[in-house]
Amino acid sequence: MRLSGTNIEHTRSFNRRVVLEAVRRHGPISRAEIARLTSLSPQTVSNIALELRESGLIRAEGRRRAARGQPPVELSIDPAGGYTVGLQLDHARLSGVLVNLAGTVCGRTVEPIATPEPATAMPRLAAAVEALIDGAEVPRTRVLGCGVVMPGPFDVETLSSVGPTTLPGWHGIDVAGRLTAATGLPVLVENDATAAALGERLHGAARDLRTFFYLYLGVGLGAGLILDGQPYRGAWGNAGEFGHIVVAPDGAPCFCGNNGCLERYASLHAAFEAMRAAGKCVGTTADLAALAAAGDPAMTGWLDSAARHLRIALNAVENLLDPEAVLIGGDLPDRLAEALIDRLTPLPPSVSARRDRHWPRLIRATAGAEATALGAAALPLFDSVSPSFSLLVKNGARSAPEESAAALAVAP
> In the predicted model, is pLDDT for residue 407 greater than 50?
no
Percent of the chain with pLDDT over 70: 85
Where residue 301 falls among pLDDT bands split at 50, 70, 90? very high
Q: Which residue has the higher pLDDT, 95 or 154?
A: 95
pTM of the model as a whole: 0.82
Q: Which residue has the higher pLDDT, 387 or 136?
A: 136
* 401 contact partners, CB below 8 Å, separation of at least 6: 186, 383
Question: What is the predicted pLDDT for the residue at 72?
Answer: 85
Average pLDDT over residues 282-307: 95
Question: What is the predicted pLDDT for the residue at 2?
Answer: 43
> In the predicted model, is pLDDT for residue 411 greater than 90?
no
Cα gap 292→405, rounded to integer Å: 46
Range name among 166-175, 192-201, 306-315, 347-356 with the lowest pLDDT average: 166-175
SS3 218: coil
* 153 contact partners, CB below 8 Å, separation of at least 6: 159, 160, 166, 191, 238, 241
The full set of domains in the chain, from first to last, is 1-77 (1.10.10.10), 82-197+371-382 (3.30.420.40), 207-364 (3.30.420.40)
Question: What is the predicted pLDDT for the residue at 146?
Answer: 96
Task: Write out pLDDT tens, residues 349-398.
Answer: 999 999 999 999 999 999 888 899 999 998 887 766 655 544 444 333 33
> In the predicted model, is pLDDT for residue 161 greater than 60?
no
Cβ contact 151:269 at 8 Å: no
Average pLDDT over residues 193-210: 91
Cβ contact 250:363 at 8 Å: no
Cα gap 144→129, rounded to integer Å: 12
Cβ contact 97:372 at 8 Å: no
Cα gap 79→58, rounded to integer Å: 8
Question: What is the predicted pLDDT for the residue at 400?
Answer: 32
Question: What is the predicted pLDDT for the residue at 228?
Answer: 87
Question: What is the predicted pLDDT for the residue at 282?
Answer: 94
**What's the angle, vertex CA 234, arms to CA 233 and CA 235, rounded to 5?**
125
Cα gap 268→285, rounded to integer Å: 8
Average pLDDT over residues 17-35: 88
Give the chain's mean pLDDT: 85
